[in-house]
Amino acid sequence: MPSQSPPRAAALAAAALLVSATLAACGGGDSKGSKAAKDDDLPAQKLSWKECPAPTDSQGGGAAPSPLPGGAEWQCATMKAPLDWAKPQGDTIGIALIRAAASGDKGKRIGSLVFNFGGPGGSGVTTLPAFAPDYAKLRTRYDLVSFDPRGVGRSAGIECEDAEQLDAYFQEDSTPDDDAETKKLLDNVKEFNGACEKNSGRTLPHVRTTDAARDMELLRQVLGDDKLHYFGVSYGTELGGVYAHLFPQRVGRAVFDAVVDPVQTAEQGSLGQAKGFQLALDNFAKDCTSQEADCPVGDTEQDVKDRIAKLLKDLDTKPIPGLPPRELTQTAATNGIVQSLYSKDFWPYLTQGLEEAYDGDGKILMLLSDSMNGRTEDGEYSNIQAANVSINCADDKARYSRQDVEKKLPAFREASPLFGEYLAWGMVGCTDWPVEGQADHPDVSAPGAPPIVVIGNTGDPATPYEGARKMARALGKGVGVELTYKGEGHGAYDSKNTCVREAVDGYLLDGKVPKAGTVCS
């Protein structure tokens, strides 16, 4: 069963590591509450940077991060932040941090570059080391810094259901065909949301994006930087936009990549993702059938999509073996396909996974599904899905009923014959949520802020290209500087496209703002 929406970026590194290993991953600090003596004490706190431990299960598990090129070690620390920003002298929580010190001449160091890789719900403490090679040039002048946002991983991580319950939850039918299946889906959502309230009710009201943005302003002060230099990916662009709105005079050099549309409702966001994933599937089918070698999953583009649709229809009533003792259900297969469409680098896994599923072996598609859901090889789960739902539901005011979804199904089916129903029914994820949502959409207007480079990718399935232009406009005249990348996958900088890299590096390292409307291909 999907969450309200698929986590947008945070599982990419985990997916690559998990699937690659099967076919042939740091945090610090206590997240429990304590008392802050005075509000003024928090910005003055001294961080105790230490060697990073191995990630906890809630962060995704695995080994401690490997040393950086040249032998430098990753360092981790914990920052105290108010549980409730409306009561800054009350209880505090720990925000888990990670950094890699700048590698270049100290005299040329600019400051810290803070990353958020999206989700919402992704652990920046585990994701930054996985992607660090891509940011080696940026590290010459910046300390690379990331964090587990509140509610995530070691930062007062939200707890909902246990591993056994989640195994069952993610196998359930997410596209009901009759009243009984619809009731079952709604009951499962209500049970999951109830578990979140039971296990993390104290934290749920305090995981809004505005809370995380205030944490980033505190982080800027604690790091000793005059400005917040920032690199946000996917949901990280929404977080960055909210920060810019709240603290426009504190924004330094900032880049938003794989941009969330800040003016859309939750329904519009889900519909946009339906169109985006359908486009990515179309591009996958076109790529597979245009190769010199025969495409093993279809003879034509339409044949590829027809065979996938038939597989999913068959799995609805007759699952196939997956990762024993679990079977590959329709929902698990859909999750796996969605996960593989986040990056063109995953298309070979999708091809192999489909080919094997057609022969009755669902192992690879289930591995991809597990990655989407944050399930590790030892059967434990990170809290990416729990945090994803909690943050989305705390942010989004809308609450959708069964009747709302049923009324919208035709539009979703038209947007995507394959993913439309899956994403439409995902909108009920907040129906029984115990905390009221904050707004219909975030306010990212940031008059007075310096230029923010906003990158849209024409082939992005999770944050469709149009969102970049809307973000640039919403930030305000002279603030949002739009750059277009004509490519595939979720995000542009990590595509290693030379044009995108030069534009981003030129701004972050040298302060050279790219010309608005620049197109890279």
Helix, strand or coil for residue 189? helix
Task: Return the pLDDT at 40.
Answer: 57
| b (16+ CB within 10 A) / e for 66-98 | eebeeeebbbbbbbbbbbebeebeeebbbbbbb
Task: Return the pLDDT at 69.
Answer: 85
Task: Return the pLDDT at 41.
Answer: 85
Decide if pLDDT at 6 tops 80: no
Task: Return the pLDDT at 481.
Answer: 98
DSSP per residue over 413-466, as a string?
A: HHH-TTTHHHHHHGGGGGTT-SS---BSS-----TT---EEEEEEEE-SSS-TH
| Beta-strand pair 327-328/518-520 | unpaired
Decide if pLDDT at 317 tops 60: yes
Closest CA to 497 of 444, 458, 446, 470: 458
Instruction: Tell me if 374 sits within 8 A of 11, measured CB to CB.
Output: yes
Decide if pLDDT at 18 tops 80: no
Which position has the token pair 């029914």?
Answer: 425
DSSP per residue over 164-183, as a string?
A: HHHHHHTTS-SS--SHHHHH
Instruction: Tell me if 519 sits within 8 A of 484, measured CB to CB.
Output: yes
Q: How many angstroms separate the CA atoms of 176 and 186, rounded?
A: 10
Average pLDDT, integer, range 114-119 = 96
Decide if pLDDT at 2 tops 80: no
Phi, psi values for residue 114, rounded to 5°: -95, 130
479-501 tens-digit pLDDT: 999 999 999 999 999 999 999 99
Average pLDDT, integer, range 5-21 = 41
Q: How many angstroms separate the CA atoms of 267 and 247, rounded?
A: 29
The alpha carbon torsion through 489, 494, 500, 501 (nearest 10 deg) reads: -170
Instruction: Tell me if 457 sits within 8 A of 487, measured CB to CB.
Output: yes
Q: How many CB atoms lie within 10 A of CB 20?
A: 10
Identify the band that residue 70 occupies on the pLDDT scale cut at 50, 70 and 90: confident
The percentage of the chain sitting over the pLDDT mark of 90, rounded to a whole number, equals 90
Which position has the token pair 């591009």?
Answer: 283
Task: Return the pLDDT at 194.
Answer: 97
Closest CA to 237 of 251, 220, 254, 225: 254
**What is the overall mean pLDDT for the chain?**
92
235-294 tens-digit pLDDT: 999 999 999 999 999 999 999 999 999 999 999 999 999 999 999 999 999 999 999 899
Q: Which of 24 and 432 is assigned the larger pLDDT? A: 432
Decide if pLDDT at 26 tops 70: no
Average pLDDT, integer, range 103-126 = 95
Closest CA to 463 of 494, 437, 427, 489: 489
Active site residues: 234, 460, 490
Two structure tokens written together for 173 = 């039918």
Task: Return the pLDDT at 132.
Answer: 93
What size, in residues, is the chain? Answer: 521
Closest CA to 2 of 389, 382, 387: 389
Please report, as a single letter, which amino acid is at residue 486: K
Task: Return the pLDDT at 28.
Answer: 36
